[in-house]
Every structure is written in C-alpha cells, then in structure tokens.
Structure 1
Amino acid sequence: MSIIPAGQNIFVIDLEYLVPLEQVEPLIEAHRTFLDKYYASKRFLASGAKVPRSGGVILAVAESRAEVEQLITEDPFHANKIARYSITEFQPRMTAEGLR
C-alpha cells in the first residue's frame, strides 16, 4: 500500500506562533483533534512541534495546494489567529521503500 497515492504531492505546512505559548496551550487539545481527523483520512503523514517551540510542522499529502489551504481553515490555531501558515509543495522524485 502506498503512503503517497499517485497524482498527489507532499506539502510541508510550517506553522509559526503569533502569540506567546501561554495563549497557545489552551488550544492544543482542539488542535490535536484537528490533526487526528486528517491522520484518519490519510492526509497527514507526520506532525510535531519545532525545536525551539516557535510553532510546528505538518507533512501532508494532497492533490492540490487549494485542498491543503482549505483543510488548514479547520485548525483551531487558524480560526483563533494563533499561527501563521507557510505551505511548500513538492513532487517526490525519490522516496524510501514503501512510500510510493
């Protein structure tokens, strides 16, 4: 089974917190619920906090940037203006065994 379906690209979603961590913490559980939804639908491959903790990174799989931009609107961090998002799309040419 392929983790990156044919016709889809990988997207690096880079979150940068716009507020102090004290304002981020109350929304962490809701943010994780958002992540869980897209892990379940196989849209997210990996995610986690940056080091140092200035935001986070999500690796996503999708057919288009527009799809990724739409799903980001569901993130409580986005709805509450907690983070800024940068999206980088790339077409994997080489992958570890099992990814394609």
Structure 2
Amino acid sequence: MFVVTVTYTAPLDEVDLWRPAHGDWLNQLISRRLLLVAGRQVPLVGGVYLAPRMPAEELDGLLATDPYVLNGVAAHTVVEFTPLLVAAGLEGLKTQE
C-alpha cells in the first residue's frame, strides 16, 4: 500500500486552472480502485492519496498521468508501507501484503 503526497510547485491560481482535469483524473482512478482515498492537505499546499498495493512502477506510471504533473504545477512523493493494524471494518486492507 502507498501514501502519496502531492505538493504544489506553482501558485494556487495556476493550480486552479488544472483542478477540473485533476478531479476527473482522480475520479477515474478511484472508480477503478487504483486510488482508495484522495483529499486536500490543510493548509492547501497539495493533497494526499492512499493507493492499494501494486507494482511501484505501475503507480509511478499512473501518477505521471496526473494533469497537475503534466502541466508542471505539482509533484508527488510516494511512501510504501504494509498495513498491520487497522480499524474494524478495514481488515481487507491487511490482505494486501
């Protein structure tokens, strides 16, 4: 499993130009369960995603298609981890070893 942080590399007014395309991109990945969670950082300096286990190269390929990245307004940082403890109802996340 992966935690992905998004950091804006351009002013918000430039990021906002690409927000609709980025939102469509996120919705497509979430509908395909290639991302599980996506949200904004507080304060708004970027975002955070939770991605299921997959080959790291596959995740890198998906992230490279982000409209924010394609248009030079954001960068991603990826941390891979193994979920060991989960809240009730989220036990399925542990099977992604």
Normalised by the size of structure 1, how large is the TM-score?
0.85
1:43 and 2:22 are equivalent in the alignment: no
- Picking from 71, 74, 88, the partner of 1:83 is 74
Tell me the distance in 2 between the aligned counterparts of 1:47 and 1:83: 15
Name the residue aligned to 1:30: 21
Tell me the distance in 2 between the aligned counterparts of 1:97 and 1:41: 24
Deviations 1:7-26 (A, max 9, x none): xxx21110100000000001
**Uncovered stretches (5+) of structure 2, i.e. residues with no partner:** 93-97
How many angstroms does 1:43 deviate by?
1.5
With a CA cutoff of 8 Å and minimum separation of 6, indicate the structure with the bigger relative contact order. Answer: 1
Say which structure is richer in helix: 2
Name the residue aligned to 2:95: none
- Picking from 8, 11, 20, the partner of 1:20 is 11
Say which structure is richer in strand: 1
**Uncovered stretches (5+) of structure 1, i.e. residues with no partner:** 1-9
Normalised by the size of structure 2, how large is the TM-score?
0.88
Q: Is contact 1:62–1:68 with CA below 8 Å preserved after alignment?
A: no
Name the residue aligned to 1:7: none
1:82 partner amino acid: V
Give the aligned CA root-mean-square deviation in angstroms.
1.0
Helix, strand or coil for the counterpart of 1:32? helix
Q: Give the number of aligned pairs.
A: 91
Name the residue aligned to 2:64: 73
